[in-house]
Structure 1
């Protein structure tokens, strides 16, 4: 598992656990915190980040927020995203939204995670146009990320948003050359979902399909 996957899934704390460090993660990390804090030059951010994860998994969201608000290294953007996650779990959706939107990062995985979290919130709050905006942003940013295109496809189909579903199928068919996306597109057309779309819109997709077949 990559470091980004650990940060995303909140499992970074597991790197501090070993056969020599037994017991509950809260105690292990607490002992490590005190050990690090006793040094002349202490770097507590990594341990705090890990502690926040453990508190989060144990639904002590306020403690998790406190720990993550005191991160001052390269994990700070991830910590801020986690703060947003904690506010989301507490039902403070607007605070979560504001937190996510305030994050400045060039990390592609983190940008994708933020877009997906905002997508989820806007579905929950029935703000469909904003949900569309952020799922399309996630696909645009990182289409190969953890079934993000599958999530988008299911979302568009469930709300019968055939214009966006067709656009997704065309773009992903062209990008990946996958016959599955072309089959999906053909299925939409056969069911009559493309009647309002000019035939020229499908020209690039047809060219790629022909190349794929040949």
Structure 2
């Protein structure tokens, strides 16, 4: 039933994409594109491979990952697939030029009973702020959910032609959020030990002076 869109799986995908295409994760993706000469959203790339690289999947219901990958590969019309790819490349950038004027992309899925075809795409651009930064919006409109009889293929999609760098760059994050600057605990312990030695030496010297 189309009027259930967005369903729980849709919302998981929306939340996952919104997180990947905004803030530090978006900047990390842009850095990956430039540092690895990886034209992430180049024409010919496959959305099913990109969702795997970004690790964005639903998790509720039967075979959610496989059904999502099959939807992107076999059900989503090719013109819409290619338009989404082009819009993402425009918003994020390519190795020659990343688009730092785009603050991020907001995704959504909506039921539209007036569609003449099963799926449609609505792309928008919010007015820029005082710093010239703007948000792009991408909404997939649908007449119905993925058919219940779609079993799906959960296997990892094959590598895209021209793909460079780590397969899942968005996952390469440092725990703790920063660089290690050395063994701070060891430094403190050594400093404390040195202080104690100095104090003991001073006490002995003072005691020796009294005996004289």
Q: TM-score, normalised by structure 2?
A: 0.22
Larger radius of gyration: 2
Q: Return the structure number with greater strand share.
A: 2
Q: TM-score, normalised by structure 1?
A: 0.22
Q: Return the structure number with greater helix share.
A: 1
